[in-house]
């Protein structure tokens, strides 16, 4: 008797369309003060209450007057004006600063640089009433240009013919005419009262806050934030802070989803977890549907547990999808909540979110974000994308859309994709990833050399500041990154532990900036140089020592088996864990075995390989094995014991062009700096006397 894993599997595209159709849109609205509306979505168009500007105002510092009074004024025929109004003066003027209201009788502004104090030496003929020629470039004239006018002499020095500066002279004269409405900002130049300012369905931005307030709008009708109830299921869940005993799972998914909801403009409501009990689940689902717009129920991701969630949901509506053709994210489900009318639940849809965190994240991005935008009647924000090259084939299964987490590095002007692990449980891959490569359902992966679109998960500036480090892994690389980020925040290290040998090869293929290596040459006993010469012939590189480090046996606390040397690995009941071939530590082991004439087959676990010092230490620490070869810092980090065996040079090989770049120089200066050395010396098993030295 077989068992149907998914009852109604749907392609992602179709699942999303059904979800949005079933969800409908929010129709209610609420009035909020404009200053609190940032990021909210308008529910109707916002209308200007007053015009902007709301009065005729001076666009320059200067004097306001009637343009007609200036007609006829010129260099040869300056014209005199008196401070006052038309009631008291024949040719009145009034000082104005930029933004001042124009007096009701005035219709032009003359900028202060064009206003001269004192009586005019010659009176102009009376105005002809025709429009004068007016220089159009008042706004950008050289203010010094009128400083040389000394052709007129006046008895009173206080009334010398100079442009006014902070003066309040009661009599001035002009040497040119003005056009009506010159340097006046007219009512409604920007927007006219009653005109729409914002459409409905618009995300309010800082500019909009400014425009609304300027137009006299103090409150704006926005859509309420969609309430998303988040219901974790499973009796195994414990809360952050509870003691993490075996079999207990920290309930972090609901917090991650709540963060997404907040970021996307919704109001998350995290609910207490419910255990896997059908009647209890139904009670909790019913309550959640009644008080939220959307229900996200976080299911365990195995088929068995998931079926259970769908079973619990299915009484409340129609299951539109059970299983979605997307990786990660397949065990998701979608329900259209049933029931119309008075007793209808508030929620229109529910999403069964898989329990594996990466699946949960993908389902949130692909379903929940568009759902929230749709409910609000708005557009989802852009996802920045970038083109990058896939250096090696990226396989993918036909028939399902796959989101491959990748890191990116700009090496020799190409942006290079490096895929990360695909496990749906590895939430840290989402943290490490620079972006997603989306492989469509009808494509069997991406071929080597192809260019792909990468959906960025962090700013491009951050990605472009990535220094790609390949090769051997060591904990001092973490220290190096931290000091680098402190001194040069625009750079970060992306390390991929592939082993020394593969690292040098990747450097040769231009897939990394730096390779970390500790390869012992068995013939000469020299570290690194022989292999670099052999593998990177013709590739210009710079080699610097990062640290000299201790390699040794990582054993359980107290070294219960009393291991002291490599020979002891062959002892009865000793379970060993090895490193992958090509790793410097493996080369060292094989060298020592050969030197001491030990048969690898006599070591139990020789064929079991791990890829990092830390995973070797984990294998020892969790009792999987008794011993592994690795660095002291890994042993210390997990509270294990360490038996020193050898010292080795852990060097960085930099491509020469990178070493000369800004990033390369920053990295080298950090390696040679005091902060890095001091931080390394706090760890165990390192020596820094040659740190930063070129080889």
Of 283-291, 312-320, 380-388, 673-681: span binding a copy of itself (CB under 8 A): 380-388
CA 250 to chain centre: 26
From 308, 295, 314, select the one nearest 368 (Cα to Cα).
295
Contact status: 304 vs a copy of itself (CB under 8 A): yes
Q: Does residue number 305 form part of the binding site for a copy of itself (CB under 8 A)?
A: yes
Q: Alpha-carbon torsion 309, 312, 314, 316, what sign?
A: negative
Query: Under a CB-based contact definition with an 8 Å cutoff, are residues 340 and 236 in contact?
Result: no
Q: Shortest distance, CB of residue 479 to a copy of itself, whole angstroms?
A: 9
Q: Which of 76, 125, 144, 151 binds a copy of itself (CB under 8 A)?
A: 144
Q: How many CB atoms lie within 10 A of CB 512?
A: 30
Q: How many Cα neighbours within 13 Å face the side chain of 577? A: 23
Per-residue CA distances from 292 to 226, 346, 367, 530 (Å): 8, 6, 17, 66
The 283-302 site mask, x for binding a copy of itself (CB under 8 A), equals -----------------xxx
What is the distance between the alpha carbons of residues 8 and 313, in angstroms, rounded to a whole number?
Answer: 14
Tokens representing residue 57 in the block:
């105002």
Task: Please identify which residue in the block is written with the tokens 């909210």.
Answer: 40
Residue 389 as a binder of a copy of itself (CB under 8 A): the answer is: no
Which residues in 179-208 contact a copy of itself (CB under 8 A)?
A: 181, 185-201, 203, 205-208
Is the Cβ of residue 490 or residue 695 nearer to a copy of itself in the bound state?
490
- DSSP one-letter string for 542-584: EEEEEEEEEEEEEE-TT-TT---SGGGGGSTTPPEEEEPTT-H
Sign for the pseudo-dihedral over CA of 157, 162, 167, 173: positive
Tokens encoding 604:
């139990």
Interface with a copy of itself, residue 279, by CB under 8 A: no
- What is the largest distance, in Å, between two alpha-carbon atoms of the chain? 122
The verdict on 256 binding a copy of itself (CB under 8 A) reads yes
Q: Are 323 and 400 in contact (CB under 8 A)?
A: no
Residue 327, interface with a copy of itself (CB under 8 A)? no
Output the smallest distance, CB 336 to a copy of itself, in A.
20
| Contacts of a copy of itself in 83-102 (CB under 8 A) | 97-102
Q: Which of residues 334-363 bind a copy of itself (CB under 8 A)?
A: 355, 357, 361
Q: Rule CB under 8 A: say whether 460 interacts with a copy of itself.
A: yes
Q: For a copy of itself, which is the closer residue by CB, 431 or 448?
A: 431
Choosing from 618, 643, 668, 671, the residue that interacts with a copy of itself (CB under 8 A) is: 618
Q: Encoding tokens for residue 643? A: 């038996």
55/339 with CB nearer a copy of itself: 55
CA distance linking residue 317 with residue 335, whole number of Å: 6
Per CB under 8 A, 615 contacts a copy of itself: yes
Tell me the window of 316-324, 333-341, 456-464, 674-682 that interacts with a copy of itself (CB under 8 A). Answer: 456-464
Cβ atoms of 678 and 659 within 8 Å: the answer is no
CB nearer a copy of itself, residue 1 or residue 155: 1
Nearer to a copy of itself, 260 or 658 (CB): 260
- 149 interacts with a copy of itself by CB under 8 A: no
Tell which one of 147, 338, 412, 565 touches a copy of itself (CB under 8 A).
147
Closest to 276 (Cα-Cα) out of 231, 233, 331: 233
Phi/psi at 361 (5° precision): -65, -45
φ, ψ dihedrals at 124, nearest 5°: -85, 155
277 binds a copy of itself (CB under 8 A): no
# of chain residues touching a copy of itself (CB under 8 A): 141
455 belongs to the binding site for a copy of itself (CB under 8 A): no
The answer to whether 1 contacts a copy of itself (rule: CB under 8 A) is yes
Find the binder of a copy of itself among 94, 117, 161, 253 (CB under 8 A). 253
Residues paired with 629 in a beta bridge: 553
The one segment of 45-53, 150-158, 321-329, 555-563 that binds a copy of itself by CB under 8 A: 45-53
Report the residue from 19, 60, 285, 652 that binds a copy of itself according to the rule CB under 8 A. Answer: 60
Q: Which of 227, 617, 643, 667 binds a copy of itself (CB under 8 A)?
A: 617
Choose which of 259, 447, 564, 602 interacts with a copy of itself (CB under 8 A).
259
Among candidates 617, 561, 560, 558, which has minimal Cα distance to 585?
617
SS (H, E, C) 181-211: CCCEECCCCCECCCCEEECCCCECCHHHHHH
β-pair partners for 694: 544
For the chain, give the number of residues. 695
Count of alpha carbons within 13 angstroms of residue 223, beta-carbon side:
28
From candidates 113, 325, 649, 651, binder to a copy of itself by CB under 8 A: 113
Binding map of a copy of itself across residues 628-667, x = CB under 8 A, - = no contact: ---------xx-----------------------------
Per CB under 8 A, contacts with a copy of itself among 220-249 are 234, 236, 240-241, 244-247, 249
Report yes or no: 522 and 592 within 8 Å, Cβ to Cβ. no
Kindly tell me which residue out of 14, 31, 38, 448 binds a copy of itself, with binding defined by CB under 8 A. 38
Residue 246: CB minimum distance to a copy of itself, A: 4
Residues 6+ apart with CB under 8 A from 17: none
- Whether cis (ω within 30° of 0) applies to the bond prior to 582 is no
Assess 428 for contact with a copy of itself (CB under 8 A): yes
Smallest gap from Cβ 624 to a copy of itself, in A, equals 7
Please give the residues from 501 up to 560 whose contact with a copy of itself meets the rule CB under 8 A: none
**Residue 44 found at the interface with a copy of itself (CB under 8 A):** yes
3-state helix, strand, coil in the chain (%, to 5): 30, 25, 45
Q: Residues 11-30: x/- map of binding to a copy of itself (CB under 8 A)?
A: --------------x-----
- The only residue of 298, 554, 614, 659 in contact with a copy of itself, by rule CB under 8 A: 614
The dihedral of CA 342, 344, 345, 349: what is its sign?
negative
Q: Which of 291, 462, 646, 687 binds a copy of itself (CB under 8 A)?
A: 462
| Binding to a copy of itself, residues 480-499 (CB under 8 A) | 481-482, 485-486, 489-490, 492
DSSP 440-455: -TT---B-TT-EEEEE
């Amino acid at each position: 008797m077989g068992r149907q894993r998914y009852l109604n599997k749907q392609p992602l595209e179709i699942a999303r369309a059904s979800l949005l159709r079933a969800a409908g849109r929010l129709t209610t609205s609420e009035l909020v003060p404009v200053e609190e509306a940032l990021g909210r979505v308008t529910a109707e168009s916002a209308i200007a209450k007053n015009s902007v500007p709301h009065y005729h105002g001076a666009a320059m510092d200067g004097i306001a007057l009637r343009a007609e009074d200036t007609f006829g004024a010129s260099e040869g025929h300056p014209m005199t004006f008196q401070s006052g109004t038309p009631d008291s003066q024949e040719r009145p003027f009034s000082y104005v600063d930029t933004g001042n209201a124009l007096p009701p009788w005035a219709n032009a502004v003359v900028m202060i640089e064009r206003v001269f104090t004192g009586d005019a030496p010659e009176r102009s003929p009376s105005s002809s009433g025709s429009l004068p020629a007016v220089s159009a470039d008042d706004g950008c004239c050289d203010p010094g240009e009128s400083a040389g006018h000394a052709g007129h002499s006046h008895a009173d020095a206080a009334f010398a013919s100079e442009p006014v500066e902070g003066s309040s002279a009661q009599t001035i004269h002009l040497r040119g005419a003005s056009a009506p409405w010159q340097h006046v900002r007219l009512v409604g130049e920007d927007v006219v009262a009653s005109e729409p300012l914002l459409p409905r369905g618009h995300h309010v931005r800082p500019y909009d806050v400014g425009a609304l307030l300027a137009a006299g709008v103090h409150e704006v009708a926005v859509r309420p934030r969609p309430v998303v109830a988040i219901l974790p299921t499973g009796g195994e869940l414990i809360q952050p802070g509870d003691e993490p005993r075996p079999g207990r799972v920290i309930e972090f998914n609901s917090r991650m989803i709540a963060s997404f909801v907040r970021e996307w403009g919704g109001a998350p409501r995290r609910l207490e977890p419910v255990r896997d009990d059908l009647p209890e689940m139904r009670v909790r689902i019913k309550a959640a549907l009644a008080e939220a717009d959307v229900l996200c129920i976080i299911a365990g991701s195995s088929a068995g547990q998931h079926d259970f969630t769908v079973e619990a949901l299915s009484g409340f509506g129609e299951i539109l999808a059970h299983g979605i053709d997307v990786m990660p994210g397949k065990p998701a489900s979608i329900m259209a909540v049933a029931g119309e009318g008075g007793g209808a639940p508030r929620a229109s849809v529910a999403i069964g979110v898989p329990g594996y965190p990466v699946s949960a994240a993908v389902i949130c991005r692909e379903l929940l974000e568009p759902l929230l935008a749709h409910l609000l009647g708005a557009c989802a924000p852009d996802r920045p994308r970038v083109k990058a090259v896939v250096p090696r084939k990226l396989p993918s299964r036909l028939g399902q859309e796959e989101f491959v987490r990748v890191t990116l590095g700009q090496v020799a002007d190409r942006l290079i994709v490096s895929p990360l692990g695909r496990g749906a449980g590895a939430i840290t891959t989402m943290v490490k990833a620079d972006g997603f490569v989306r492989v469509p359902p009808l494509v069997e992966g991406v071929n080597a050399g192809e260019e792909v679109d990468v959906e960025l998960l962090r700013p491009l500036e951050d990605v472009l500041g990535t220094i790609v480090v390949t090769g051997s892994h060591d904990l001092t690389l973490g220290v190096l990154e931290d000091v680098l980020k402190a001194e040069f925040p625009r750079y970060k290290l992306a390390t991929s532990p592939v082993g020394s040998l593969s690292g040098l090869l990747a450097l040769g293929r231009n897939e990394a900036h730096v390779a970390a290596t500790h390869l012992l040459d068995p013939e000469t006993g020299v570290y690194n140089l022989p292999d670099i010469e052999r593998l990177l012939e013709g590739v210009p590189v710079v080699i610097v020592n990062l640290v000299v480090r201790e390699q040794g046996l990582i054993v359980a606390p107290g070294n219960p088996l009393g291991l002291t040397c490599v020979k002891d690995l062959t002892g009865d009941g000793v379970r060993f864990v090895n490193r992958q071939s090509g790793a410097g530590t493996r080369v060292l082991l094989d060298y020592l075995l050969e030197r001491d004439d030990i048969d690898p087959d006599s070591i139990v676990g020789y064929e079991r390989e791990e890829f990092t010092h830390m995973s070797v230490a984990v294998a020892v620490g969790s009792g999987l094995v008794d011993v592994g070869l690795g660095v002291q810092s890994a042993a210390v980090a997990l509270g294990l014991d360490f038996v020193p065996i050898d010292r080795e040079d852990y060097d960085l090989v930099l491509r020469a062009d990178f070493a000369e770049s800004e990033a390369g120089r920053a990295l080298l200066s950090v390696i040679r700096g005091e902060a890095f050395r001091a931080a390394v010396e706090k760890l165990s098993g390192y020596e820094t006397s040659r740190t930063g030295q070129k080889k």
